[in-house]
Structure 1
Amino acid sequence: MHGDPETTHDVEIDLSQVPLEPAVLTKNIGVPIIVVLTKCDLHTELKVSQLSKIQYHVRNFCLARGAALIYTSGKENLNTHMLYKYLAHRVYNLPFAQAACIVNHHSILIPTGWDSTQKIDIIAEDLPDTLPITAEDDDIMSQVLASLPPTEDETEENFLSRLENMIADSAKST
């Protein structure tokens, strides 16, 4: 009988046929990606709004690539063990029962497939007119980059030559 509440119909959904939301996995490179933000204990001088803005942009980046996101700190031992467990889960298909964590700005964990544009837009609601990167953000980034040691561009040939010399040196010492 049609419409009978006691009659149930098992509907099997083929998840490979379900269309993705608009902004999800738009840059698929075919391999699992995990974005790890390290030294998350060092952003104490940033305001909550700045941390939220960073989180908004990084989560959109991850969503477009189907990547997991995790913030870690070796010094404070934040999420380092969780990163290990998540890597073991992704590489060896071991069980991973940890739920996503987005409450604390210092220890974010967003497994692959958990995030959505609706969840990310919740951050945007608290950040009126600050979603585009501003001159203040550029100033903070330039300060961070200025504090890093200078790097030299190295050609692939020089890198491989240096690597070959290191291998030869280690072979001589053994």
Structure 2
Amino acid sequence: MQKISTCLWFENQAEEAAKFYVSVFGDSRILDVSRFGEGGPGQAGQVITVEFEIEGRKFMALNGGAPANFTEAVSFVVDCSDQAEVDRYWSALTDGGAESMCGWLKDRYGVSWQIVPSVLGSLIGGPDPEGAQRAMQAMLGMQKLDIAALQTAYDG
């Protein structure tokens, strides 16, 4: 059992958001949907929470009623093995959302994500300090990260 999980507060899109996230990531599924009963504070049948799993990690989406805005102070980092994976997640998560800088984006619900190639750390923190600085400068000019361009910058 996972000791700590993430709860995402939505005004009323918990089920929609959970279904979206499950559609984006492999090895993902809806685990449970809880609804208000006749005596609940919400309308009977309305979704309260949706428990879902992404890549083995459990989440809960909550319909909290009043809007609670997400900020960049909390983001999800997606480790990508290659450019195809970067491109796929970037495309799916920016659909209805917004691109930002340095591999960051906000999805259609305002949740922040970092789409990061696994190789990034070895480029911006590599053993060649000048190459690392060039890669860092290249990254600072990108929205979606481009592995080939980062590697070219590192190599000089």
TM interval, short-chain normalised? under 0.3
Q: Report which of the two has the higher share of strand.
A: 2
TM-score under structure 1 normalisation? 0.22
TM-score when normalising by structure 2: 0.24
Larger Rg, first or second structure (1 or 2): 1
